[in-house]
Chain A
């Protein structure tokens, strides 16, 4: 077989000859995505117009839009969970961003032991929601945690039970999730911080910009895209976060810390009300789709491959 002289021509020729190769290589991936992502999403829409409860099989059948009218008109838990979802997502994303950026700035500086410091402060990224709950439960529990600390220090009787009140449960979950979430922002923003050209700081210094001006006009303006991207990504992930709330607060007390996805998970795993759970899922899906649309627009995803 004769090879043309230029590399480009070779590749072009081979590409043409092996036209089916990429599809063969991608076949298993595409098959999995169709069978276990696309098809399930389609069936959610089907189940959402069905009465389908495993524990009440005699009621199963076509429901029309009754699940949705129920959801919108009569389900106060849906609306309260939606409200808490917004509170949860905004609180988490804003605090994680601010603290994550601070952490990224700190571990971007040159100092002895920086590698070890990074390894330590990034570690909670790898820890699951359930394990985070376990770790923080030992702190929030009056017997083992802050209450014990208070008794040991002789500061009181140790009746600290932060998970017992609605506000306490929200703050407790917020802090526990922060512990796990700050490293995500720190890791992403650190990568971008490393690419800020030093000349920009030099130029700013020549122009007599002080520390805060340099931070605002050089650092922040360079990080803008990464911040937009990571906050949107994180907003979606925090929206979807079920594990931690499911195990730490169980959505309580009195459903005060129930997010919409947690409500769905409880309908599926505890009530086994698949029809109504699917209607809730469709609602969540529509909300997320709106989010994703903004996301794709802002970042122009998939433009360059």
Chain B
């Protein structure tokens, strides 16, 4: 008997929830009796949130992979006919390619501009800096719809209507300010001594940036690049307004046209939606861990 009671008192803290605040929790919830209500209070709402998130997606995927007039809840029997129809007959091959071109170009241009601007904001003091940061943040409040008509006029003047370049420009303009502010925050967190050590060793400032800073900024580049890509991939209104011919439409415009048709082919619509969601899901899996940090830095920190 005397051996069991000390062992229990040693084991107890080990068994209790292993969070970052383990010991604190242990004091707060000393017994197992409290676990059941906690589980209900925690997993009840969690289950509801997960179901609310997943069921609509599940419903779409079921429609995308099952034959027409399918009855039931399970995605069975499987068919890829809808994907083939969407890809070949409904133009998703075009749409996907256009969205990828615009999204990819926006990503590259935005990241380069954000690196340059972010570096300037983080490493230099200069006249007009505060004003510029304020201007960058204020662009977050300029709705796309405000710029719809004047940007159309500008691109018409530049003969860029029905040209994907107009989308790259307008998407970059909308994605770049937040990316620059985010990047400035990331760069500010890297000690300036690292660069200066390299410069003392004879590196130019630019070389020091390439060799020392760029590798350290990889998470920042992944995060800002992904935000820019997602924003561009999802942009509907500009593409709707600036593109006239079918072969230049992007995925949101293609989806919207499909939705607007009277005789909707629901299977193909669902397949198209699944195709549109695919890159987002993959990118989101990558940037998910930067999301909390990234959005907060951009929205709160300034």
A residues with CB within 8 A of B: 3, 7, 10-11, 15, 18-19, 21-23, 25-26, 28-30, 32-33, 35-37, 39-41, 43-44, 47, 102-103, 106-107, 109-111, 117-131, 133-139, 141, 143-145, 152, 179, 182, 184, 187-188, 190-192, 194, 198, 201-202, 205, 226, 229-230, 233, 236, 239-240, 242-243, 246-247, 261, 264-265, 268-269, 274, 277-278, 281, 284-285, 288, 291-292, 295-296, 301-305
Q: Are A33 and B135 in contact (CB under 8 A)?
A: yes
In the complex, chain B residues whose CB is within 8 Å of the CB of A264: 145-146, 148
| A3 engages B296 (CB within 8 Å) | no
Nearest CB to that of B300 among chain A residues? A229
Identify the closest chain A residue to B55 (Cβ): A139
Asked if A41 and B49 make an inter-chain contact with CB atoms under 8 angstroms apart, the answer reads no
> Can you name the residue of chain A whose Cβ is closest to the Cβ of B57?
A135
Knowing A110-B18, A242-B144, A268-B241, the reply to whether A138 touches B269 (Cβ < 8 A) is: yes
In the bound complex, how far is the Cα of B145 from the Cα of A281, in angstroms? 8
Residues of B whose CB lies within 8 Å of any CB of A are 17-21, 24-25, 28, 42-43, 45-46, 49-50, 52-54, 56-57, 59-60, 63, 71-73, 113, 116-117, 119-121, 123-126, 129-130, 132-154, 169-170, 172-173, 176-177, 180, 192-193, 196, 200, 205, 230, 233-237, 240-241, 252, 255-256, 258-260, 266, 269-270, 272-273, 276-277, 280-281, 283-285, 288, 291-293, 295-296, 299-300, 302
Nearest-neighbor residue (CB-CB) of B22 within chain A: A110
Residues of A within 8 A of B42 (CB): 106, 109, 111
Min CB gap B62→A, angstroms: 9
Complex Cα–Cα for A190 and B49 (A): 15
User: Are B169 and A36 interface neighbours, CB within 8 A?
Assistant: yes
Beyond A134-B60, A198-B21, A240-B145, whether A124 also contacts B240 by CB under 8 A is: no
Q: When the two chains form the complex, which single residue of A121, A127, A191 contacts B293, counting CB atoms closer than 8 Å?
A: A191
**Complex Cα–Cα for A188 and B280 (A):** 20
Bound-state CA distance A19–B120 (Å) is 11
A287 → chain B, closest Cβ, in Å? 11
In the bound complex, do residue B255 and residue A130 qualify as a contact, i.e. CB atoms below 8 Å apart? yes
Contact indicator B299/A229 (Cβ below 8 Å): yes
| Interfacial chain B residues near A291, Cβ < 8 Å | 141
A sample of 14 more A-B contacts (CB under 8 A), given A40-B151, A136-B56, is: A18-B205, A21-B124, A25-B116, A33-B173, A102-B45, A121-B49, A134-B259, A134-B272, A138-B60, A187-B295, A191-B300, A242-B145, A243-B252, A285-B146
Docked Cα-Cα span, A301 to B180, in Å, equals 16
Give the distance in Å from the alpha carbon of A192 to the alpha carbon of B19 in the complex: 18
Contact A123 B236, beta carbon cutoff 8 Å:
no
A32 touches B172 (CB 8 A): yes
Contacting residues, chain B, for A296 (C-beta < 8 A): 134
Q: What is the chain B residue whose CB lies nearest that of A34?
A: B135
- Evaluate contact between B24 and A47: CB separation under 8 angstroms: no
- A187 vs B169: C-alpha distance when bound (angstroms): 29
